[in-house]
């Protein structure tokens, strides 16, 4: 299983925000879309960063409620680790574990073609483990 197949199942929706928008606007997008991170893109759609709920918490802890009026560019992580559609799910788990983050944008021809969250990976792994256990039970029943 690779990222292309996982995106085929979950969809290619990408929720993004521009860097000059405020954290309050980004918070609204996170809440409305029920997601934990948005990619930050420029007017040309190029990837500039990623902003997760953790970045917003950090900004609030540092500056208090005034942080909500500051631009996304100040709180986002600019050095984004991305993957490709050919990346395997095992590789993706390794990337998330070693980087200690829960979101990875998928790049295709320099464009963000989707975002995989740790929730998507866990869902896929659970289905895989269940299928393995079902196959094992069927095998034992036949013996
Ligand atoms: P998360 O666990 O995804 O909520 O993010 C934890 C921290 O890692 C935040 O500071 C994010 O901005 C950052 N982060 C999230 N995803 C990535 C990524 N793919 N590459 C680099 N940093 C990231």
| pLDDT tens-place string over residues 13-49 | 999 999 999 999 999 999 999 999 999 999 999 999 9
Q: Ligand 1 — pocket residues by CB below 6 A?
A: 36-37, 50, 52-55, 77, 80-81, 101-104
Question: Which atom of ligand 1 is nearest the CA belonging to 117?
Answer: 3
Ligand 1, atom 16, lies closest to the CA of: 103
pLDDT of 10 higher than 90: no
When pLDDT is cut at 50, 70 and 90, the band that residue 1 belongs to is confident
Ligand 1 centroid – CA 106 distance (Å): 14
The set of residues, in sequence order, having a beta carbon less than 8 Å from that of 120 and lying 6+ positions away, is 6, 10
pLDDT tens-place string over residues 77-119? 999 999 999 999 999 999 999 999 999 999 999 899 999 999 9
User: Which residue among 78, 101, 114, 120 is best mutated to probe the pocket of ligand 1, counting the most ligand atoms within 8 A of its Cβ?
Assistant: 101
The set of residues, in sequence order, having a beta carbon less than 8 Å from that of 92 and lying 6+ positions away, is 3, 83, 104, 116, 121
**Cα–Cα dist 82/46, whole Å:** 13
The class that CATH gives domain 3-142 is alpha beta
- Nearest CA to 93 among 62, 66, 127, 118? 118
pLDDT of 64 higher than 90: yes
When pLDDT is cut at 50, 70 and 90, the band that residue 128 belongs to is confident
- Name the average pLDDT for the chain: 95
């Amino acid at each position: 299983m690779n990222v292309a197949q996982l995106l085929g199942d979950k969809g290619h929706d990408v929720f993004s925000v521009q860097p000059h928008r405020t954290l309050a606007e980004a918070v609204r997008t996170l809440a409305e879309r029920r997601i934990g991170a948005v990619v930050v893109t420029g007017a040309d759609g190029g990837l500039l960063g990623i902003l997760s709920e953790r970045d917003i918490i950090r900004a609030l802890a540092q500056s208090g409620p005034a942080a909500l009026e500051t631009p996304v560019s100040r709180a986002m992580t600019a050095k984004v680790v991305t993957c490709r559609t050919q990346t395997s799910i095992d590789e993706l788990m390794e990337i998330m574990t070693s980087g200690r983050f829960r979101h990875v944008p998928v790049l295709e021809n320099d464009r963000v073609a989707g975002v995989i969250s740790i929730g998507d990976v866990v869902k896929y792994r659970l289905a895989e483990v269940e299928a393995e256990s079902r196959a094992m039970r069927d095998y034992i029943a036949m013996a």
